[in-house]
Structure 1
Amino acid sequence: MKRANTISFSIEIGLRFIGMWPDSAYPNFYWFSYMTTVAIVQYYQYTYIFVHFDLNDLWLLMDCLSLTLGYSLAFLKLLVLWWNRRVFYYILKAIDEDWSEYVINDSYKSTMVSMADLSRRFANVSFSIYAFSAFFLSIGEHLLQSMDDQFGNSSRELPIKMEFPFDVSKSPIFECFLIGQFLYDLVIASVVNLINALLVALILHVSGQIDIMQQDLFEISNKKYDHSTFLPVIKNLICKHQKIITLSESIENLYTYIALMQVLWNTLVMCCTGFVIIIVVSSGEDTTNLIKSVSYYFAIMLEVFVYCFAGEFLSAKSKSISNSAYEALWYNMPPSDSRIILFMILRCQKRLTITAGRFMDLTLEGFTSIVKASVSYISVLNAMY
């Protein structure tokens, strides 16, 4: 039997792993254990950057900084998610109430099940993409370096640059740290994708509720007008619309500062990674770093695109409510009743959206602006190099 919820099972497992799922066992223990592990690894990453900081070796600095900033962003997003966990619990409760209504009214079944299927497919595909990227950032890079080393004189450097107070290049310490970095990278990538997949699942649920509301509006326009049945139906529609607005605002409150960090931080990360790609391509050597940097760059760009596309999709869906209300036969109704639909059309003029820090709407136009800004910074760094 398929899971009857927009939140897929893989997302629920991830939320339980970081202690964010309501009523999960020992949530504080899981949360603090995970965050402590990330903080320790970040300490050794930033130590490496400070020890090897050299403007004359700008390529190495950008290569280390891009990964380190990406992990720091994941750490900060989890802090924001934990801080707003009450909002998240309210959203989950609202989703459960919508699914309990689907059990009562079977006409909503196909819409909600289709949105749940889309959410599950996106989560599974994106988890696979991020796992593939994590493999190339750790084990894959080491394997490619071993293949390129024809004489066996490998420097045995860890893929994720860290500064330790002891030598890690000797066996079996190196192999243990290599496997540990792969597991750490895989977990970080899964958690980053978890936050993205959760946003898509929430947006898809709101979209499903909008489709159900449009379906009800379509039924009003096709039925013969009856004043006795019109008022209860339109009252139910207004309550449903208000619930959609409240749920969208809750998603906005949960993700607005996460989106702000995503936009600002990923602009810098895309700048650093793009600069590394240009240097590697111009040198014509080191295909290992080229594959690693390109896969990481596309993963970061995909992450920004998901946020911007989710905001664009929500805005377009909210506008479609006013179109459906306008297509209803409100002009055949008495003025006292048609005025209610006109007020609904008026309310829909204020579109639903996801913002970055409440001052920038996440749209596809915003995505192009982010890419243009990162390319501009890359050109500046290339001129300095």
Structure 2
Amino acid sequence: MKRANTISRSVEIGLRFIGLWPNSTYATCYWFSYMVSIVIVQYYQYAYVFDHLKLNDLWLLMDCLSLTLAYTLACFKLLILWWNRRIFYRIVKDMDQDWRDCIVNDLYVSTMMAMADLSRRFSNIVFIIYASGAFFLSIGEHLLQSLNDINRVGNSSRELPLKMKFPFEVSESPIFECFLIGQFVYDLSIAIVVGLMNALLVTLILHVSGQIDIMRQDLAEISKREYDHSTFLIIIKDLICKHQRIIALSDNIENLYNQIALMQFLWNTLVICCTGFLIIITINTTKDISTLIKSVNYYIAITLEAFIFCYAGEFLSSKSKSIGDAVYEMLWYNMPSNDSRILLFMMLRCQKRLTITAGKVIDLTLDGFASIMKASASYVSVLNAMY
């Protein structure tokens, strides 16, 4: 039998790895150890950024700054998730309760299983995309640089793919190879964690979507049955309670992700700007092809991350409106006026759509994603003029 949970096994393993899964052993130890490793790497990254904080070498500054800012964003996301972990535990508990309630009806189970399968496929695709991005940022770029060095006359100094400033020399073997492998493991872990948080958001939205589809099915069933006042009141009372649980679950998801979404909204504008500028300069100059491949791959991953957040908010909003449409499509005109007024209250409540906001300031929609891309393009044009 398939696993009766919307959260896929891969996402659960990732949450256990960073110590955020409910009732997991040594959760604090896992989270603290991982955060310490991120802070150490960030120290050497920012040491390199401050050492090359010169406008006369803007290309190199943008190259190292884009990755550094992205890893800082991942660190802040983990801090916010850890701070709001009790909200996440409550969400997981409510999801388990929804699955237990679905067991009584095979139609409910099939609807939620379809959402669980979609969540599993999406999570696997996200992990593959981010893992391939980590490969091109570390091992792949190093291999391309090695091929370029073979075709050149003379020997060039070896550089690590992830720009860091160390108090000792790391270009000699076997120290260079050890740091190269370490950077690949670090890049892979950060990429998986970032993909994990994106996959988790989509998973939670899909679970809410499944509950909304179940509620719409129940509303459609009312119209097919012969009208009975007492039965109608019992079913409507149950649907109102279900609607309230959906709203509460959506509010918890909003509270869990609204600060992350705000940082994503602001930070991604800068990162996309830096990466886009890097791509333009690489195309217009004689820089190595390895830099172009790395930058394009990284640009796609960052843009996809912003798109996932905005599309998830848009999808949740449209799904919440569909409840009001389902109520309107009922045969309310064949009911007594006292009973049809109950449906009117449900329709009024559905007009306040469910959504994910960025810091409770703006809604995450596809229009918001377009504004991110427009702002990034404007900054890129300014940097290009300065260069």
TM-score of the alignment, normalized to the shorter chain, above 0.5: yes
Q: Deviations over 1:45-83 (max 9, x none)?
A: 000111122110000001000000000000000000000
Q: Please name the residue that 1:4 is paired with.
A: 4
Cα offset, 1:119, TM superposition: 0.3
Q: Distance in 2 between matches of 1:356 and 1:291?
A: 31
Work out the CA distance in 2 between the residues paired with 1:175 and 1:152: 21
Q: 260, 282, 285: which is aligned to 2:284?
A: 282
Tell me how far apart the structure 2 counterparts of residues 314 and 228 of structure 1 sit (CA, whole Å): 33
The amino acid that maps onto 2:212 is I
Which residue in 1 is equivalent to 2:226? 224
Residue of structure 2 equivalent to 1:88: 88
**One-letter code aligned to 1:249:** D
Counterpart Cα distance in 2 of 1:244 and 1:284:
55
Partner residue of 1:28? 28
- CA–CA distance in 1 between the matches of 2:69 and 2:157? 25
Residue in 2 that maps onto 1:323: 325
Distance 2:154 2:10 in 1: 42
Where in structure 1 do 4 or more consecutive aligned residues deviate above 2 Å?
A: 104-107
8 Å CA contact 1:119–1:204 kept in 2: the answer is yes
1: distance between equivalents of 2:336 and 2:380? 62
What pairs up with 1:367-378 in 2 under 5 angstroms?
Answer: 367-378=369-380
**Partner residue in 2 for 1:212:** 214
Alpha carbons of structure 1 residues 152 and 187: separation in structure 2 relative to 1, 3 Å:
farther
Distance 2:12 2:116 in 1: 13
Query: Over residues 167-208 of structure 1, what are the superposed CA-to-partner deviations in whole Å (9 max), with x where a residue is unaligned?
Result: 000000000000000000000000000000000000000000
Query: 1:52: which partner in 2?
Result: 52
Identity of aligned residues (%): 72
Distance 1:71 1:221 in 2: 53
Provide Cα deviations, 1:185-241, integer angstroms capped at 9, x if missing partner: 000000000000000000000000000000000001111111121000000000000
Offset, 1:331? 1.0
Distance 2:358 2:183 in 1: 32
User: How far apart are the structure 2 equivalents of 1:99 and 1:263?
Assistant: 33
Residue type at the aligned position of 2:180: L
Instruction: Give 1:104 deviation, angstroms.
Output: 2.3
Distance in 1, Cα, partners of 2:195 & 2:177 = 27
**Structure 1 residue matching 2:124: 3-state secondary structure:** helix
Whether 2:126 is the aligned partner of 1:126: answer yes
Encode CA deviations 1:88-140: one digit per residue, 9 max, x unaligned: 00000000000011122222011000000000000001100000000000000
Number of matched pairs: 385
The residue number in structure 2 matching 1:112 is 112
2:158 is the alignment partner of 1:156: yes
The DSSP-based 3-state class of the residue aligned with 1:19 is: coil
TM-score (ref. length: structure 2):
0.99
Aligned to 1:18: 18
Secondary structure at the aligned position of 1:104 is classed as coil
Structure 1 unaligned segments of length 5 or more: list them. none
Could you tell me how far apart the structure 1 residues matched to 2:107 and 2:45 are? 54
Aligned to 2:367: 365
How far apart, CA to CA, are the structure 1 residues paired with 2:50 and 2:230?
74
Q: Which runs of 5+ in 2 are unaligned?
A: none
SS state at 2:363 partner: coil
Q: How does 1:57-72 map to 2 (within 5 A)?
A: 57-72=57-72
Which one-letter code corresponds to 1:110 in the other structure?
Answer: S
- RMSD (Å), alpha carbons: 0.8
2:235 maps to what in 1?
233
Cα displacement (A) at 1:152: 5.9
Tell me what 1:97 maps to.
97
Name the SS of the counterpart of 1:138 in structure 2. Answer: helix
Superposition pairs of residues 139-178 of structure 1, within 5 angstroms: 139-149=139-149, 150=151, 151=153, 153-178=155-180
Q: How far apart are 1:284 and its partner, in Å? A: 4.1
1:4 counterpart letter in structure 2:
A
Distance 1:154 1:203 in 2: 50
**Does residue 254 of structure 1 match 2:256?**
yes
Corresponding letter in the other structure for 2:19: G
Distance 1:282 1:226 in 2: 74
Residue in structure 2 matched with residue 383 of structure 1 by the alignment? 385
Distance (Å, rounded) in 2 between the aligned partners of 1:241 and 1:154: 65
Q: Confirm or deny that 1:301 pairs with 2:276.
A: no
Aligned amino acid, residue 154 of structure 1? S
